[in-house]
Structure 1
Amino acid sequence: MWLYLAALLGLYFLRRWYQERQTVENLTEKYVFITGCSAGFGNLLARQLDARGLRVLATCTTQKGAEQLDKVTSERLKTTILDVTSKESVAAATEWVKEQVGNKVSKNYFQRREFSFTLRDDIYVRYQSFNTPLELEKEIQKMCPCKIDIGAVYSHKPIQHNMVHLGAFQAQEKELVFDIDMTDYDDVRRCCSSAEICPKCWTLMTIAIRIIDRALVEDFGIKHRLWVYSGRRGVHCWVCDESVRKWSSSLRSAAVEYLSLVKGGEETIKKVTLPDNIHPFISESLNVVKRYFREYALVEQDILGSKESYEKVLALVPETVRKELLQEFTKKHDSVKRWELLTKALERHSSTLKKMAHTESEIMLQYCFPRLDMNVSKGINHLLKSPFSVHPKTGRISVPINLKKLDEFDPFAVPTISRLCHELDTVSNDEGDAKENEGEPENSRRSRDYKKTSLAPYVKVFEQFLEEMEKSHKKERLKASDMQLDF
């Protein structure tokens, strides 16, 4: 009897020992769903499992709790808001988990995208959503908005935002966007101010695109970027990589902070201060600035041409050198020669004044480095004007920019709405085209007419961008299919 009990006990401990020695394979590919992660045990478990490499899907009761958890965990951990007492919130969280685990585009992705219309007299109509692109097209024709903005993809259809529980309606993803506005350079450009631009100062946008785009590709590993002219005084960038679209506000803020260098408001004189050890991103950016600085800053902007302008530059150098240069500048009368005097003076004093080691670079960067609007980039629910919109002030079309011909881009040469109307009227009156399209439905013919207008090359740039995204998406799906042996 005792021998039998001892044998049973031995088998029990042997089975327990075997079970405890089992390990989960491919831990980093496993998902774990945890509720109540704003604080307490749920928060602790989420952080520990994230540290072990699992893909944690954490729900929090408040947006503040979600943001705090995002700050102390890796990019693997994803957060959403969940109110377990709300059926709508539970349903939204269920759909969110399916999207995260399946890594597929939801069937109602387009339906959950926000569109905003600006009508005459600055009437804003937000939280518009549509079941199909055709519905959107018909609504645009009906409302004839002055401006169209694109927002986030939400947990519910935006048009139903007043019908769901307050905490359940959440922005879930959106392209990372950058907004660069020429008015932010008013303290360093002499040719224009406010909303005005000209070919001389447009070089600032060219420099900004080159610096930011290089960093996005080489520093962040981003593939899909669409640069768009705003239609008036700036440029926008849409970063469309699938993983980036799901970034939290804190990740977006960190990216903008990484790409920002010019700090301080109107009262700040010196807005760029470099450390002893310059970060590679700044070094690469400086290389871009140097390519344009002489022609742009010294020749076209003539930043040292007048006493008022060169005193602003000299305010950025140490006082001992400043006094010397104020006297020497009277002997030369153009910016190029005065810049040579400045660089030679800095070189002479560099051995005695360590803080002057980067003064020349700091001046160049303060006058040319990109100036980003952080609020536009960090907010997931922030709106941004749709490509191919018509700017209500200028009538110019917000067109994609071909990066291969960036230096050739002319904001004054882009199509205007009046020009396009004239071109379309010309096409429709062409007798040859009338014979060619005889019997073809009117809508089908008109939808092809843009190819015979000045808008065609810009549409081609956009189509090429979409084709590259589609190829990349198919490649990723094929790769996932091969890994799952799903032929």
Structure 2
Amino acid sequence: MPHSISSQDSAVNRNDDEILPDAPPAETVSQNQEPSASENEASGVKLEDLFNDDDDDEYPASSATDTKNVDFSAPEPAAAPGPQVDTETMLAFYQRLFPFRYLFQWLNHGIVPSPDFGNREFALTLQNDAYLRYQSYATADLFRKDILRMNPSRFEIGPVYNTNPRDRKTLRGGQMKPISKELVFDIDLTDYDDIRSCCTKANICGKCWAFVTMAMKVVDTALREDFGFQHILWVYSGRRGAHAWVCDPRARSLPDDRRRAIAGYLDVVRGGNSSGKRINLKRPLHPHMSRSLDILKPYFAQTTLVDQDTFVGFEQAQRLLSLLPDKNLNESLRKKWESAPDRTSASKWADIDALAKTGKSSTLNPTTLRDAKQDIVLEYTYPRLDSEVSKKMIHLLKSPFVIHPGTGRICVPIDPRKAELFDPLSVPTVTELLAEIDAWDAEHPPTNAGAEAADGEGSVPESDARGSRRLQDYEKTSLKPYIDYFRSFIAALLKEDRTPKRERNEDAPEVKSESMEF
């Protein structure tokens, strides 16, 4: 079992386990009307601008027959290598393991159903890759029933609207507006392909996952210390990245210009995979950059210089030289490295200071060299964010705890306090989890012959003949520590939401509507 979730977080308030209110009449479930492609175009919003996720190009095709009221305007993603989750396994996961009740409490910000959940948009990707948008549910029970009925490959979470998104066709243009949504961030390892040598594209390993770890640490620290946010849920994307959901009440209500400002504040590495300098910081360093540099230096020494051995090859060595400020020093380094073509990255990095100290370059400015080296450390380690995901409230993002169909792994939360202990390759797959349930049940047969398994995660298990609470299925598996962590996160968030608005806005730092300049 992965050790990324602290056992102490499993002690959460049992008041959160209250039985949810009964669902309204079932007729409301069938209103699955979907806008046509022309309606999407008329709104001025492109589907690809809304559906920003790191796994779009990995989504495998499978079969499904339920295509009524479906938007086929979404581009068909290419299939990806790896295990593909069949529809029966997917349905068993939703029936037995998916934490519907806790997801409801997270998005509803309470136990009693409210517009925070009822007016929230969900977008379902069906088994044939058709994309069904503007779904909404009044209660957790309705939500669970519809997911079991539709059995989607996965689903995304969108904003809360000022009205029920299912009613959009009855409204005039512009009347339905998003009013709140978590501030979200997306880290994808494909954005590091130019500097990771171990893997490419969708493939990952422990060595390159360190880029995600260091990005999480920098972003999480900045959000907490510079903006005062406290409730930040980090979630593994299921294959090669991580998402951050900033859930503080103040974050959820941020207008788009404030979201752009925060995204701009954190967006430092510019220019894609261009050959030019991608970081150019003013001195003295902004406190955020100085703090980030302190966080990232150890990762540069281990990940960039040792694990990735980034500068061992000719092209990256030339790239390193192009980022140094002194021509005479560069020429001396070039000659030294050409004479030893297999020289390691750690040795090449040490060569910079060693040759600089010889005094062979009369034009060398030590301060300029120090600044250049700091910029290099940041260029090779600073978070590379898909900032477009963060800038607009209307963006959709994959839900926590869904299955990545290419890997079969669950999109589990990550404790940022122990980010370096998280191993994406040890995250349980859906087939492993179902096998764990079977194994547990075989070792713990019910004491009364007529006992049946608890009715999925959304129910409150009855007591067995001995008076003990019957375990929910997820409690029999390696998914338990992740759901326990999620529950503890929700408990803290609900406590914050119960705090009077005036109190929680005291001392809230002002967020400027311009990108911060370094």
Q: Which TM-score applies when normalising by structure 2? A: 0.69
Matching of residues 183-332 of structure 1 within 5 Å: 183-318=190-325, 319-329=327-337, 330-331=339-340
Which of 321, 325, 344 matches 1:334? 344
Partner of 2:484: 460
Higher RCO by CA contacts (8 Å cutoff, separation 6 or greater): 2
* Distance in 1, Cα, partners of 2:147 & 2:373: 51
> Residue 156 in 1 paired to residue 148 in 2?
no
Shift of 1:178: 0.2
SS at match of 1:339: helix
The answer on 1:435 being equivalent to 2:447 is yes
- Structure 1 210/441 Cα, relative in aligned 2: closer, same or farther at 3 Å? closer
Structure 2 counterpart of 1:249, which letter? D
Equivalent residue number for residue 32 of structure 1: none
Q: How far apart are the structure 2 equivalents of 1:373 and 1:437?
A: 54
Residue type matched to 1:302 in 2?
Answer: D
Q: For residues 361-412 of structure 1, give each alpha carbon's deviation from its aligned partner in whole angstroms, at most 9, with x where no partner exists.
A: 1111111100111110011010000000101111110000012321110000
Distance 1:438 1:310, change over 3 A: farther
Secondary structure in structure 1 of the residue aligned to 2:425: coil
**Displacement of 1:109:** 2.2
Decide whether aligned partners of structure 1 residues 276 and 123 sit closer, same or farther in structure 2, where only a CA change above 3 A counts: same
User: Which residue among 372, 384, 394 is the counterpart of 1:381?
Assistant: 394
Deviations 1:290-312 (A, max 9, x none): 12111111110011223233222
Percent identical residues: 40
Q: 1:441/1:122 Cα in 2 relative to 1: closer, same or farther (>3 Å)?
A: closer
One-letter amino acid of the counterpart of residue 343, structure 1:
D
Counterparts in 2 of 1:130 and 1:307: CA distance versus 1, 3 Å: same
3-state SS in 1 of match to 2:401: coil
> What's the CA shift for 1:115?
0.5
Do structure 1's residue 112 and structure 2's residue 142 form an aligned pair? no
Indicate conservation of the 8 Å contact 1:427/1:449, yes or no: no
Aligned partners of 1:343 and 1:360 also within 8 Å: no
Q: Does the CA contact (< 8 Å) of 2:454 and 2:472 recur in 1?
A: no
Matched position secondary structure for 1:130: coil
Structure 1 runs of 4+ aligned residues shifted over 6 Å read: none
Equivalent pair of 2:127/2:151 in contact (CA under 8 Å): no
**CA deviation after TM superposition for structure 1 residue 268, in Å:** 3.9
**One-letter code aligned to 1:215:** A
What is the SS of the residue equivalent to 2:169?
A: coil
Distance 2:214 2:496 in 1: 28
- Please say if residues 220 and 416 of structure 2, whose CA atoms lie closer than 8 Å, have aligned partners that are also in contact: no
- Alpha carbons 2:454, 2:473 under 8 Å: kept: no
User: CA offset at residue 322 of structure 1?
Assistant: 1.9
Instruction: Give CA deviations for 1:145-181 in whole Å, capped at 9, x if unaligned.
Output: 1111000000111111122111101111100000011
Deviation at 1:108, TM superposition (A): 2.3
Between the aligned partners of 2:129 and 2:410, the Cα distance in structure 1 is 19
Q: Does 1:473 align with 2:497?
A: yes
Pairing partner for 2:377 from 350, 353, 364: 364
Partner of 1:99: none
Query: SS of 1:161's equivalent?
Result: helix
Deviation at 1:477, TM superposition (A): 6.8
Amino acid at match of 1:395: G
Partner SS state of residue 184, structure 2: strand
Q: Cα RMSD (Å) of the superposition?
A: 2.4
Task: Establish whether residue 142 from structure 1 lines up as the match of residue 160 from structure 2.
Answer: no
Distance 1:437 1:154, change over 3 A: farther
Alignment deviations for residues 275-328 of structure 1 (CA, whole Å, 9 cap, x no partner)? 122100000000011121111111100112232332222221233322111112
- Whether the 8 Å CA contact 1:119–1:147 is kept in 2: the answer is yes
- AA matched with 1:342: I
CA distance in structure 2 between the partners assigned to 1:436 and 1:284 by the alignment: 60
Q: 1:439 to 1:265 in 2, by over 3 A?
A: closer
- Using the TM superposition, name which of 444-453 and 367-376 deviates more: 444-453
Instruction: Give the secondary-structure state (helix, strand or coil) at the position aligned to 1:320.
Output: helix
Tell me the amino acid that sits aligned with residue 409 of structure 1: F
Query: Aligned with 1:114: secondary structure?
Result: strand
1:326 aligned partner, one-letter code: R
Q: Deviations over 1:206-245 (max 9, x none)?
A: 1001100110111001111000100011000000010111
Aligned CA distance change for structure 1 residues 229 and 346 (closer, same or farther; 3 Å) = farther
CA contact (8 A) 2:186 2:385 kept: yes
- Please tell me whether the aligned partners of residues 305 and 333 of structure 1 are also in contact (alpha carbons under 8 angstroms): yes
Write out per-residue CA displacement over residues 253-277 of structure 1, whole angstroms, 9 at most, x where no aligned residue.
Answer: 0001101110112334210112122
SS at match of 2:283: coil
| Conserved 8 A contact 2:186-2:386 | yes
Structure 1 residue 200 displacement after superposition: 0.7
Amino acid at match of 1:399: V
Partner of 2:53: none
Task: From 160, 163, 173, give the equivalent of 1:166.
Answer: 173
Q: Whose helix proportion is higher, 1 or 2? A: 1
Aligned position for 2:353: 343
Rounded to whole Å, the distance in 1 between the matches of 2:190 and 2:390 is 18
Q: How far apart, in 2, do the equivalents of 1:216 and 1:412 lie?
A: 27
Within the alignment, does 1:413 sit opposite 2:437 as a pair?
A: no
Specify the structure having the higher radius of gyration (Cα): 1
Q: CA deviation at 1:436?
A: 6.9
How far residue 334 of structure 1 moved from its aligned partner, in angstroms, is: 1.8
* Pair 125,343 (structure 1): closer, same or farther in 2 beyond 3 Å: farther
> Is 1:404 aligned to 2:417, yes or no?
yes
Distance 1:222 1:437 in 2: 51
Quickly say closer, same or farther: Cα 1:435–1:108, change in 2 above 3 A.
same
C-alpha distance in 1 between matches for 2:195 and 2:453 = 54
Shift of 1:344: 3.5
